Amino acid sequence: MNDLATQAATIGVIGDVHLFWDDEDVAFFNRAAYDLLLFVGDLSGYTQVRGQRVARSLRRLRVPAMCIPGNHDGLHAFQLGAEIAPRAHRFRNAFCRGQARRCRRLGEALGDIDLVAYSRHRLAPAGVPLNIIAGRPHSIGGRRLACLRYLEEAYGIDSMESSIARLKWLVDACDDAPLLFLAHNGPSGLGDRADSIWGCDFRRKEEDWGDQDLEEAVRYASSAGRNVLATVAGHMHRKTKSGKSRPAQVEKDGILYVNAAEVPRHREVNGAKRRHHVKLTLTAEGATAEDRWV
């Protein structure tokens, strides 16, 4: 048996899909020899029907995979608008009706691919022991929780404080294997400029748009002596509204943070279509990430 310190797991991280997925993607990942695939959410655009078509395509993958729902997954356009626009917040609960049904249909469309949220998963890809903690689903970033009515009904989460407590509980449920956090939006604490890795680029005031509960959970795990290898997420597209580029990855306090949201992930390069994902390599000692266009 190989020494655990020298074993490595390779994980394909697929950023916000937003319908940019086809048969060639399925064929590539089925032959690419990844040990695990992680989808950071936003399979859909503004309609759930087309997002479910993407989900049904994903079920043809022969690689173990999991997906955390993004803010476009399970939400229709009016609901998403009410969550984003301050003047429409009073309509959030009304438009939230039916989200449980829409999320259930998405899970059914995904088949054997796990739709994960507020959960802990003990795996050993390529023999590397690993705890994966899936964070809060449907995040839109900022200081408040999106889809609050649904979060309370589905997970018993009614505030940022209860979300923090749930994520800390998941950390405590882990064994001694290293940790990886999977989220839709990344944590706060990594920059407050519009082009920070999870900074706000759509308001006049630049600010940190990361998730406070995720930041608290990662800090809690580290302070408890846990070996946190990486946090992978997306949501804040790498190309900002002003045309600047966010960093694809940041390392802080020995933890690698990866924003996989290269949108659109299908692009024409010299007349040929290329598809984006991140190759994440994990050992018991650390993590590295590399952008791949294939």
List per-residue pLDDT tens for the chain, 294 residues long: 456 567 899 999 999 999 999 999 999 999 999 999 999 999 998 888 889 999 999 999 999 999 999 999 999 888 887 887 766 666 677 677 889 999 999 999 999 999 999 999 999 999 999 999 999 999 999 988 999 999 999 999 999 999 999 999 999 999 999 999 999 999 999 999 999 999 999 988 999 999 999 999 999 999 999 999 999 999 999 999 999 999 999 999 999 999 999 999 999 988 899 999 999 999 988 999 999 999
Specify which residues 267 forms β-bridges with: 274
Question: Is 245 in contact with 239 (CB distance < 8 Å)?
Answer: yes
Question: Is 79 in contact with 98 (CB distance < 8 Å)?
Answer: no
Homologous superfamily (CATH) of 8-293 is Metallo-dependent phosphatases (3.60.21.10)
How far apart are the C-alpha atoms of 53 and 110, rounded to whole Å? 9
Structural domain boundaries of the chain? 8-293
Residue 162 sits at the vertex; the CA angle it makes with 157 and 164, to the nearest 5 degrees, is 120
> Is this prediction's pTM over 0.85?
yes
Give the rounded distance of the alpha carbon of 140 from its chain centre.
11
Measured on CA atoms in the order 30, 123, 130, 41, is the torsion positive or negative?
positive
pLDDT digit string, tens, across residues 186-239: 999 999 999 999 999 998 899 999 999 999 999 999 999 999 999 999 999 999
